[in-house]
């Protein structure tokens, strides 16, 4: 079981350190833990919790204002990365071409890649074929057999809205993804203590990528305890 905390643009270097210390002290009972702090809070960390970056550019270093690359990640021994998050796609306009380029670069570097896909509410309204088409388009240029790939299904309409996808919705899309890859499959989108067990019980679900509910350490610990019971 994998639980990953995506801090997005929350927490500082100091509060991330404190969070990681408290997470290390918590009995995880075999639940694999990942924390993705903002770039300025990336830090060397040893222990059971793995720290990863939310995004990075496909270069070692260079003239890419506002970006971080391999050199900046290597300073802290970071070798885990989220790519293709819907906030990168929709707010910052990242194209599939750019995301696929990043994927190829960091795969070459042996990174563990949490790769996100998910449909918009408009696409969901059109039915399951449209959902599959949308997800397929987000997989173009991605090596689905890469051994360090983890795929996160994050429906855009369920992110940060408090309204999670139903177990039926999740089951359907995870089965579709499972037909394409043997990588671990996560769900993300308004995961919280009240729904995490139901979600983790879904057959093809290997864990959760959690935003809002992960930012508070006590709530995260609570979700780890609930995951341990599965
Ligand atoms: P929320 O848990 O806030 O819905 O965010 C999910 C997410 O985007 C994780 O990457």
Query: Which CATH number is 54's domain given?
Result: 3.20.20.70
The residue whose CA is least distant from atom 1 of ligand 1 is: 211
- Ligand 1 center–CA 63 separation, angstroms: 31
Rounded Cα distance, 124 and 137, in Å: 15
Q: Find the mean pLDDT for residues 107-130.
A: 97
Q: pLDDT for 78-97, tens place per residue? A: 999 999 999 999 999 999 99
Whether ligand 1 lies within 6 angstroms of the CB of 186 is answered as no
The answer on pLDDT for 19 being more than 90 is yes
Whole-number pLDDT of residue 163: 87
Whole-number pLDDT of residue 35: 98
Q: Find the mean pLDDT for residues 189-199.
A: 97
Give the long-range contacts of residues 162-167, CB within 8 A, separation 24 or more.
162/190, 163/190, 164/189, 164/190, 164/191, 164/192, 164/195, 164/199, 165/189, 167/198, 167/199, 167/201, 167/202
**For this structure, is 85 an active site residue?**
yes
Whether ligand 1 lies within 6 angstroms of the CB of 159 is answered as yes
Whether ligand 1 lies within 6 angstroms of the CB of 154 is answered as yes
Whole-number pLDDT of residue 68: 98
Whether ligand 1 lies within 6 angstroms of the CB of 117 is answered as no
Domain that holds residue 124: 2-228
What pTM does this model have? 0.97
62, 69 contact by CB (below 8 A): yes
Whole-number pLDDT of residue 82: 98
Q: How high does pLDDT run on average in the chain?
A: 97
**153-169 core/surface letters (b: 16 or more CB in 10 A; e: else):** bbbbbbbeeeebbebeb
The answer on pLDDT for 173 being more than 90 is yes
| Of residues 145, 163, 146, 147, the one with CA closest to residue 155 | 163
Task: Return the best residue to mutate from 37, 120, 212, 215 for the ligand 1 pocket (most ligand atoms within 8 A of CB).
Answer: 212
Number of domains comprising the chain: 1
Using 50, 70 and 90 to split pLDDT, how confident is the model at 125?
very high
The answer on pLDDT for 54 being more than 90 is yes
**114-125 core/surface letters (b: 16 or more CB in 10 A; e: else):** bbbbbbbeebbe
Question: Which token pair is 24?
Answer: 């290390």
């Amino acid at each position: 079981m994998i639980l990953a905390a995506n801090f997005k643009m929350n927490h500082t270097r100091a509060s991330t350190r404190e969070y990681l210390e408290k997470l290390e002290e918590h009995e995880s009972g075999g639940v694999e833990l990942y924390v993705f702090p903002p770039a300025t809070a990336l830090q060397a960390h040893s222990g059971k919790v793995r720290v990863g970056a939310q995004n990075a550019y496909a270069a070692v270093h260079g003239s890419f204002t506002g970006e971080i690359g391999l050199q900046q990640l290597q300073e802290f021994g970071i070798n885990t990365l989220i790519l293709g998050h819907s906030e990168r796609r929709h707010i910052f306009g990242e194209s599939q071409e750019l995301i696929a380029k990043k994927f190829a670069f960091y795969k070459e570097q042996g990174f563990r890649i949490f790769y996100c896909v998910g449909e918009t509410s408009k696409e969901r309204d059109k039915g399951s074929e449209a959902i599959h088409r949308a997800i397929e388009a987000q997989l173009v240029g991605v090596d689905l057999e890469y051994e360090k790939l983890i795929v996160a299904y994050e429906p855009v309409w369920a992110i940060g809205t408090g309204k999670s996808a139903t177990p039926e919705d999740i089951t359907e899309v995870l089965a579709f993804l499972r037909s394409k890859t043997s990588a671990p499959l996560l769900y993300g989108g308004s995961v919280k203590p009240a729904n995490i067990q139901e979600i983790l019980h879904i057959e093809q679900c290997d864990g959760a990528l959690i935003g809002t509910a992960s930012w508070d350490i006590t709530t995260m610990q609570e979700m780890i305890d609930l995951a341990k019971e599965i």
